[in-house]
Structures are given as structure tokens and as C-alpha cells.
Structure 1
Amino acid sequence: MWRPGLPELLIILVLILLLFGPGRITKIAGELGSGIRAFREGLTKKGEDETAEKDETTPPSP
């Protein structure tokens, strides 16, 4: 299987820079970061919700 080396990665990065420009790349990176952050918060909230549901369904011990 082909794995890109350093020269190939540099060529790809230069092409992306030429296509989008530095201003748009920072905007895309910011949006990607906020999307990842929202995804992680969603996972955390889902875990908290499941834990709360388990606590509510378990009868209290005497």
C-alpha cells in the first residue's frame, strides 16, 4: 500500500495553499476545530445522560 512521504505531503500542502489561500485555510481550520469540539461535547453529554438514566432506573438501596 502506498504511503505518502514528506515530499508528497509538502506538495499537497502547497497545492491546498494555492487553491484556498491563507485566509480561507485559517477559516476552514477554525470551523473544523469547532466542529470537533461540538462532537466531543455531544459524546460527553450522551455519556452523562446515559449515566443519569441508569441512576434513575436503579432502585435506591435501603
Structure 2
Amino acid sequence: MFGGEFFFIILIAFLLFGTKNLPEVVRGYAKFMATLKNATNEIKSEIQKSADIDGINSSIQQITSSVTQEVEKVKESVATDTGAIGQQVLKQTTEEVGAIQQNIEDIVEGPIKRQK
């Protein structure tokens, strides 16, 4: 995610949230992600403690690895869907910009088009 893709995401974020609200949105997202990460780590450590106490560590590791694989599949699916949505938004934006540009040219040229 470099260059054009990053610029496009920033542009969409500015359009959706505005320049005044964007820092608040990013802070809220970062807090949410940190909270989610902490909760995940706490749950993971509690499961690990329980597994060590009950002697079922190997089965928990198998379950954890299968859950991790499923989570990775979901991440890939979300990344693919996000890319498709981004391409669709870019296409629509490009079409709208073209229409606006044509309207501006029509306004500037007036009813009588200049001959080139």
C-alpha cells in the first residue's frame, strides 16, 4: 500500500470526514484498535493459563492455529473487498470529475464555441 493507493485512501478520508474531523476519527480508530489488541491479548493469555493448568496445551495450540488461519483468510478477504471498493470509488470519482470538467468547459466557452 504505497504511493497512489495511500494517496487515494487519504483523499477519500478527507472527503468523508473533512479536515477538521479527520484527526478525531484517526485517534478514535487508533484507540479502538489498541483496545481490541489488548482485549485479544488478555483473552489469549487467559486461555494459555487455563490450558497450562488443565494440561490441554497441545489441543489449544491446534485450535489457536486453526482460528489464526481462519482470521488470516478473513483478513485477505477484507483486503480484497476493500481493494475492489476502492477501485469502484476511483472509477466513479474519475467519471464525475470528467463530467464536471466538461461542464466547466461548456460554461467557459459559452454558447458560441471558439474555433481552434
TM-score class, shorter: 0.5 to 0.7
- In structure 2, relative to structure 1, the CA distance for the partners of 1:48 and 1:25 (3 Å cut) is same
Q: Distance in 2 between matches of 1:6 and 1:25?
A: 20
Structure 1: gaps (5+ residues):
none
Distance 1:17 1:48, change over 3 A: same
Q: Residue by residue, what CA displacement relative to the aligned partner does 1:22-52 show, whole Å, maximum 9, x if unpaired? A: 2200000000000110111111011100111
What's the CA shift for 1:18?
A: 4.3
- Runs of 5+ consecutive residues of structure 2 not aligned to the other structure: 56-116
Change (3 A) 1:22 1:51: same
Structure exhibiting the larger radius of gyration computed from Cα positions: 2
How far 1:19 sits from its partner (Å)?
Answer: 4.5
Query: 2:50 is matched with which residue?
Result: 53
Q: Does 1:25 align with 2:22?
A: yes
Distance in 2 separating the partners of 1:19 and 1:56: 50
Measured on the aligned residues, the alpha-carbon RMSD in Å equals 2.6
Q: TM-score w.r.t. structure 1 length?
A: 0.62
Identity %: 15
Alpha carbons of structure 1 residues 46 and 16: separation in structure 2 relative to 1, 3 Å: closer
Higher helix share: 2
Higher relative contact order (CA 8 A, sep 6+): 1
CA distance in 2, matches of 1:40, 1:21: 28
